[in-house]
């Protein structure tokens, strides 16, 4: 199609329109525009003046398709710019035979090599099927429309599909609430574009760049009504810069609420632990902590945890999930700040960014409860129900603070830890898999 007839295809025009709506007006420039049989539109552009690379599928994956994606990935890594994938494809081209597996392998390998170097972000507009769904899985964050579809194997092949429902199993809602594959879910394209731009404003462009720091609010916030009984959203809304937060994976693992926030203009990952933690919530924070560490984003946690959920389906995954979270937080070299606002009980309190596993600074609200057991369990066992005083004497908690002072303590801590440097043993990487 070197004669340019592909530019008249309806699918091509729609793909171009998707990119134009997402990026700054007139900023998109194509790469490999005249490559034949590629079924993908690719190039570079800006969003709110920030440079990035972007591609949009408009047909099945071919060898040329994979070559073009690999080419812009190489440019994105070289330039230190985020890459955005707009996914809307039924998967591989049957006519390409075995060669299409090589094409997908090239894409997967390219994405793996870019992981932790530049942010990789996927927007799912329609069908994301077969090996194409793995592109979403290899991305750092995935955004989806509520009517999009996402699966690797045809749901018809699942023997127990009736228990879930065919339409439900491959729906965006299922992957937002149940599998956690989608981090964000939107009703329409316009809402997704707005949400994506807000998200991107929190992101550094690469792993060597510091997090974006905007002009912050002053420290005079009305925080007099803060309490451990507030919802995570209420807590974050009261503490972070005005309206400067976005919730991550809101539908998945609700026992830990996670946000990108700003404190005095500085991007942070902020997580709030609530009650008994589920495997899904632990999995969510593990991945977010690893991402934050890769891209120099400070981690702030609010602890109010009583343990872990006790069902059989939960406990069969407990060991690996808790180990992975412990590893992710221990391994993180970014500033780590923990505020105990309620309970920090036993292993859940230890795992949730405690001083024991490497938090730089730990504060506790007056009235917080640090203990080996819940009060109910301690009563049954006949042991003291709190060891907060012991934790203070041993330095496991740095200071008792009043709730209304929390914001200024966080801002001071982030500023103080901004030059943190950590030396580690020489190694390729850890062997714990997330």
pLDDT in tens, 380-408: 888 766 677 888 888 999 999 999 999 99
Give me 307's structure tokens. 């343990």
CATH 3.90.226.10 applies to domain 211-419 = yes
Nearest to residue 145, comparing CAs of 136, 153, 156? 136
pTM over 0.85: yes
Q: Could you tell me how many helices (H) and strands (E) the chain has, helices first?
A: 15, 17
CA distance 250 to 248: 6
- Helices 279-294 and 312-331 sit at what angle, rounded to 10 degrees? 20
Is the Cβ–Cβ distance between 398 and 361 less than 8 Å? Answer: yes
Nearest to residue 357, comparing CAs of 368, 366, 367, 347? 347
Nearest to residue 388, comparing CAs of 407, 409, 363? 363
What value, to the nearest 5°, has the Cα angle with vertex 261 and ends 328 and 186? 95
Q: What are the structural domain ranges in the chain?
A: 5-198, 211-419
CA distance 337 to 318: 25
Measured between alpha carbons, how far is residue 275 from residues 192, 235, 269, 304, 348 in Å? 31, 15, 20, 6, 10
pLDDT for res 1: 42
198 alpha carbon, distance to own chain's centre: 14
Which secondary-structure segment (H or E) carries 337? strand 336-345
Nearest to residue 135, comparing CAs of 169, 156, 106, 168? 106
Pairing of strands 149-151, 245-248: unpaired
Is the Cβ–Cβ distance between 264 and 221 less than 8 Å? Answer: no
Could you check whether 5-198 and 211-419 share the same CATH topology?
yes
Pairing of strands 245-248, 256-263: antiparallel
Q: Which residues contact 377 (CB under 8 A, 6 or more apart)?
A: none
Phi-psi bin for 275: left (phi > 0), alpha (psi -120 to 50), beta? left
Share of the chain above pLDDT 90, in %: 64
Is the Cβ–Cβ distance between 245 and 270 less than 8 Å? Answer: yes
pLDDT for res 242: 85
- CATH, domain range 5-198: 3.90.226.10
CA distance 269 to 421: 19
pLDDT for res 8: 80
pLDDT for res 229: 86
Neighbours of 147 (CB within 10 A): 12
Neighbours of 40 (CB within 10 A): 25
Using one digit for the tens of pLDDT, what is the confidence trace for 100-126? 788 889 899 999 999 999 999 999 998
Is the Cβ–Cβ distance between 265 and 213 less than 8 Å? Answer: yes
Residue 434: strand, helix, or coil: coil
CA distance 256 to 385: 24
pLDDT 10s digit of each residue in the chain, 434 long? 455 677 888 889 999 999 999 999 999 999 999 887 788 999 999 999 999 999 998 888 778 888 899 999 999 999 999 999 999 877 666 666 778 788 889 899 999 999 999 999 999 998 888 888 999 999 999 999 999 988 887 666 666 666 666 567 778 999 999 999 999 999 999 999 999 999 999 999 999 999 988 875 655 666 778 888 899 999 999 999 987 899 999 999 999 999 999 999 999 999 999 989 999 999 999 999 999 999 999 999 999 999 998 877 777 778 999 999 999 999 999 999 999 999 999 999 999 999 999 999 999 999 898 988 887 887 888 876 667 788 888 899 999 999 999 999 999 999 999 999 998 888 888 888 76
Neighbours of 244 (CB within 10 A): 20
CA distance 77 to 99: 26
Nearest to residue 148, comparing CAs of 188, 199, 117, 177? 188
Neighbours of 11 (CB within 10 A): 15
């Amino acid at each position: 199609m070197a004669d340019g007839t592909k530019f008249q295809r309806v699918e091509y025009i729609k793909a171009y329109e998707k990119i134009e709506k997402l990026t700054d007006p007139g900023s998109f420039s194509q790469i490999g525009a005249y490559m034949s049989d590629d079924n993908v539109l690719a190039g570079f552009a800006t969003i709110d003046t920030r440079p990035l690379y972007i591609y949009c599928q408009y047909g099945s994956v071919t060898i040329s398709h994979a070559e073009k994606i690999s080419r812009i990935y190489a440019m994105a890594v070289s330039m230190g710019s985020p890459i955005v994938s707009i996914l809307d494809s039924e998967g591989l081209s049957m006519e390409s035979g075995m060669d299409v597996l090589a094409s997908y392998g090239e894409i997967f390998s390219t994405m793996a090599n870019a992981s932790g170097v530049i942010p990789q972000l996927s927007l799912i507009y329609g069908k994301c099927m077969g090996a194409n769904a793995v592109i979403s899985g290899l991305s750092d964050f995935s955004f989806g429309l509520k009517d999009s579809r996402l699966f690797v194997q045809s749901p018809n092949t699942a023997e127990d599909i009736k228990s879930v429902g065919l339409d439900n199993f491959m729906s965006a809602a299922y992957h937002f609430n149940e599998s956690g594959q989608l981090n964000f879910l939107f009703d329409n394209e316009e809402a997704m574009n707005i949400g994506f731009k807000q998200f991107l404003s929190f992101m550094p462009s690469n792993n060597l760049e510091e997090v974006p720091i905007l002009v912050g609010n002053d420290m005079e916030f009305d925080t007099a009504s803060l309490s451990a009984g507030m919802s995570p959203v209420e807590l974050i809304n009261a503490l972070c810069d005005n309206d400067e937060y976005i919730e991550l994976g809101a539908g998945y693992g609700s026992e830990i609420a996670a946000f990108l926030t700003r404190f005095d203009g500085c991007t942070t990952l902020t997580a709030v632990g609530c009650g008994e933690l589920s495997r899904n919530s632990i999995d969510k924070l593990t991945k977010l902590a690893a991402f934050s560490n890769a891209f120099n984003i400070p981690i702030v946690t609010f602890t109010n945890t009583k343990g872990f959920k006790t069902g059989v389906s939960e406990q069969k995954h407990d060991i690996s999930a808790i180990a992975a979270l412990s590893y992710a937080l221990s391994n993180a070299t970014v500033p780590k700040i923990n505020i105990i606002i309620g309970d920090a009980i036993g292993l859940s309190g230890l795992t949730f960014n405690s001083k024991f596993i490497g938090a730089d600074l730990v504060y506790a609200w007056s009235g917080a409860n640090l203990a080996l057991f819940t009060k109910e369990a301690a009563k049954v066992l006949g042991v003291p129900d709190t060891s907060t005083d012991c934790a203070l004497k041993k330095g496991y908690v740095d200071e008792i603070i009043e709730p209304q002072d929390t914001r200024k303590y966080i801002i001071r801590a982030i500023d103080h830890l901004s030059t943190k440097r950590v030396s580690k043993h020489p190694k390729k990487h850890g062997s714990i898999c997330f």
